[in-house]
Amino acid sequence: MPLKIKEIYLKNWKVYQEEILQFDLTSQQNIWIIFGQNGYGKTSLLEAIRWCLYGDLVVKKNILLSYFNRLAVQSDPNLELRVEITLSASNQPSCNTQTEGEDPEGDIYLITRSAQQKLREETVYVEVQDPVLYRNGVKRNDSQEWIDYLLPRMCREFFFFDGVEIQHYAKLTHTPETKNAIERILGIPELKNLRDDSKKAVAEFQKELNQASERNQQLQAKNAELQEIRDQLSTKQEQKNLMQQNLEAARRNYQQAQGRAAQVEGLKGQLEELGRCELDCKRLKQRLYEGERKVEETLRTAPIPLLLGLVDEVVQDLQGRTVTTARRSGSVKHLRELLKSEICVCGRCLDEEARGHILRELEQLERVMGAGSPTDLEQDELRNRLVRLSRYRDWSLDRVLEDRDRLEEDLGELEQRINRLRRETQGVSEQEAQEIWRKVAQAQRDGEEYEQKLRHIERQLEDLSKRENQVYREVEQLAGRDEETVTLAQQLKMALRLYAVAEELILWRIGERKATIEEKTSEIHRRVTNKPEEYNGIEVRPDYTLGVRTVLGRILSPEILSAGEKEALAFAFITGLNLASNTAAPLVMDTPFGHLDVEHQRNIVGALPHLPSQVILLATDRDFQGDLFQQIKPHVAEIFHIHRLGATEDASKIEREG
C-alpha cells in the first residue's frame, strides 16, 4: 500500500509564518493540486518537505538564515523555524529497527525538524536541531534511519522534483549517486550488504583458520592451494558473468537483425522487381536519347527531300537531251532565289548543309552555261549527280516522332512503377538487404562463439568446484585434528555458502527488478508518448540508462530525442521505478509539465490517475491551459490556492478550494 503525506505544518518558513496544510486521504482520487503564481510559495513548499526529511543535504546551514520569514524576524530576532510532516502508511514492510511485536499496518509517522535563529552580540547565527520521528505517537531514537527507510535520501529526486529539470533522468549516463539511488529503490543495497558481510566473514574465518593451522605445514599448503582455487573460481565467475552479458547482447542483436531481415525478406519480390525496373529504365532512357537524336537529324535534313521535284525535272530534261539554255537559266534562277531566301519551300530554315549543296549545284550549272553547249561527257556527269540526288527518299518524320513519343510514354509509366515500388519497400535497397543478412549471420556467429566460450568456462568452473571440494575435504581432515580448527572450518564453510547464495540472489534480484522496471516504464511510456505508432517499449541497460525501442526493433538513444520526448521518457522512468519498488512513495512535482508540448501534457494527465501513488502538483494557472484542467479535474481529490496576505511578498496563505 502507498505511503502518503497527510499533513504539512510550516512555521516561519520563508513566506509562511504559520501554515497547516491537510490532505483528505479518504478520497478515492490520488491527485492534489496546489495553485500559486510565481513567487507566491510553491517552490518554498517543495523545499520545506525536502529539508524536513533530508536537512543540510537540501539546504546548507550557512544559507538557512535566508529561509526564516523576514516579517517574523523583524519582531523576534531569536526566532524558531519549524517544518513538520505527517505520513500515513499501510502494510509497510518491517524495518531492521522495528520493535518486536509492532504492527506496521496503518502506521502514522510524524517527522519534525527545526532551527533556531540567535543573536550573539551583533552576530546572527543559526542552530539546527536533529530530526525527530514519532511512530504511532512513540518517539524513536533512530529518527534519521527511519526517514531513510521510508524515503531514502539518495532517492529523494525520484519523489520530489522540479518538472523543468526532469530531463536529466533520461541522460545517456547516470552519476554513481543516481545509480545507487535506483538500486536503493529496488532493494539491491541490502543484498549487497549481505554479500559483503559474508565475504568479510569468509576472510575473517580464513584468517583465523590460517592462524590456528600454522603448526601444520601440510594444512597451510592445502589452505594456500584452496585459496588459489577460490581465486581462480572468482576470476572464472567474473568471466562467466561477462560472457553471459555478451551472449545476451549478441542474442538481442540477432533478434533485432532477424526481425529487420524478416521485414526485408517480405519485400524481396518488390526489391527484385524494383531492380529490374531500374535496369529497364536505364535502357529506355538510352533509347529515348537515340530517338531524340533521330528526330533532330530528320528535321535537319528536311529541306533536301522537298527539293526533289525540281531535281527530277532537271534529270528528265538531261535524259531527253532537251536541256536548253533557257531551261538551264530557269533552273539557275530558281536555285539562286532559293539561296537568297532564309526559308525553304517547306517552311523550315535552310541549314548550312542544304545551302552548301544547292550552291555547289548552282556553280556547276553556271559553269556549264558559261562553256556554251555542254559536251556529252559533261551532260552525263551532271545527269548522274542529279540522279543520285533524286534517289534520296529516306525521310519519315512522322514515324520517328511516334517512336520518340512511345518511348517517352513507356519511360513515364516505368518511372511511376519505380516510385510505387520504392514507397512499398520503404526505401530499402538491395545493398541494405544484403547488409542486414550479413548482420544476421554475424550476430548468429557471435552468439555461437559466446555460447561455446561460456560452455568452456562453465566446464572449467565445474572442474575447479570439484577440485575445491576435494581440497576442502582434505583441509577438513587435516583441521579435524584440532577442535578449534574444526569449528573454524565449519564456520568458514557456512560463510562461503552464505556468500554464494547472496551473490546468486543479487544477480537474480537485479535481473528480476530490471525486467519489472522495463515492463512498468514501457507501460507508462506508451501512455505518455506522442508517437505510440513508432515506439513500443523501453530498454533499461545494466547501468540503468535508457533506450527507446521502436516498432522495427531499433533501440534509440535518449540523446537524439526532442526535449518533450526526453521529459516524457524521464516521467515514465520515474513512475516506472515507483511502481517497481512496491513502495508507491508520494510524488510531489513542482511545475509538473516543464517544457512539454500540449500533446505530451495531455498524455501525462491521462497517465497520472493510474499511478498507485499520491500525486501532489505545484502549479500555476498556465500549467493547465485550455481543456487540460477539465481533463484532470475528475481525478483530483482536492484543490488548494496560495494567496498573498496584503501587499507584502513575505506572507502567503494556503486555502482549500470550496
| Position 66 in a domain | yes
Average pLDDT, the chain: 79
φ/ψ of 562, rounded to 5, equals -70, 170
**Which pLDDT score is estimated for 66?**
92
**418, 359: one domain:** no
Q: Is the pLDDT of residue 9 over 70?
A: yes
Q: Is the pLDDT of residue 96 over 60?
A: no
Q: Is the pLDDT of residue 590 over 60?
A: yes
| Position 633 in a domain | yes
Buried b (16+ CB within 10 A) or exposed e, 289-309: eebeebeeebeeebbbeebbe
Split into its structural domains, the chain has a count of 4
**Is the pLDDT higher at 229 or at 98?**
229
**Which pLDDT score is estimated for 345?**
59
Instruction: Give the 3-state secondary structure of residue 638.
Output: strand
| Position 191 in a domain | no
pLDDT, tens only, 31-48: 999 999 988 999 999 999
C-alpha to C-alpha distance for 206 and 209, rounded to whole angstroms = 5
**Which letter does DSSP use for residue 67 in this model?**
G
Contact 483, 506 (CB under 8 A): no
Instruction: Give the 3-state secondary structure of residue 87.
Output: strand
Contact 401, 246 (CB under 8 A): no
Q: How sure is the predictor about 98, in pLDDT bands with cuts at 50, 70 and 90?
A: very low
**320, 284: one domain:** no
**421, 272: one domain:** yes
pLDDT, tens only, 204-225: 877 777 776 665 677 778 888 8
**330, 421: one domain:** no
**415, 545: one domain:** no
Across 426-485, the runs of DSSP E, i.e. the strands, are none
Q: Is the pLDDT of residue 512 over 70?
A: yes
The boundaries of the domain holding residue 644 are: 515-656
| Position 224 in a domain | no
The helices-and-strands tally (H runs, E runs) of the chain is: 18, 16
Q: Is the pLDDT of residue 653 over 90?
A: yes
Instruction: Give the 3-state secondary structure of residue 413.
Output: helix
Q: Is the pLDDT of residue 243 over 80?
A: yes
**414, 519: one domain:** no
Residue 166: CB atoms within 10 A of its CB come to: 25
Strand partners, 123: 120
pLDDT, tens only, 345-368: 555 666 777 777 777 777 776 776
Q: How sure is the predictor about 97, in pLDDT bands with cuts at 50, 70 and 90?
A: very low
* Contacts of the segment 406-414: beta carbons below 8 A, 24+ positions apart: 407/284, 407/287, 407/288, 407/291, 408/288, 410/284, 411/281, 411/284, 411/285, 411/288, 414/277, 414/280, 414/281, 414/284
| Position 327 in a domain | yes
**Which pLDDT score is estimated for 92?**
45
| Position 484 in a domain | no
**273, 421: one domain:** yes
Strand partners, 16: 13
| Position 652 in a domain | yes
**Is the pLDDT higher at 636 or at 612?**
636
**Is the pLDDT higher at 55 or at 265?**
55
Average pLDDT of the segment spanning 237-262: 81
**Which pLDDT score is estimated for 131?**
95
**57, 106: one domain:** yes
Of 348, 379, 394, the position where a domain reaches its end is 394
**527, 623: one domain:** yes
**336, 421: one domain:** no
Going by their DSSP bridges, the two strands 80-89 and 107-120 should be labelled as antiparallel
**Which pLDDT score is estimated for 583?**
66
**Is the pLDDT higher at 114 or at 509?**
114
**11, 108: one domain:** yes
Of 374, 394, 414, the position where a domain reaches its end is 394
C-alpha to C-alpha distance for 167 and 600, rounded to whole angstroms = 14
Check which CATH number belongs to the domain holding 123 and give it: 3.40.50.300
Of 107, 133, 154, the position where a domain reaches its end is 154
| Position 94 in a domain | yes
Q: How sure is the predictor about 556, in pLDDT bands with cuts at 50, 70 and 90?
A: confident
Highest-scoring range by mean pLDDT, 77-91, 471-485, 577-591: 77-91
**Is the pLDDT higher at 548 or at 268?**
548
Instruction: Give the 3-state secondary structure of residue 111.
Output: strand
**321, 282: one domain:** no
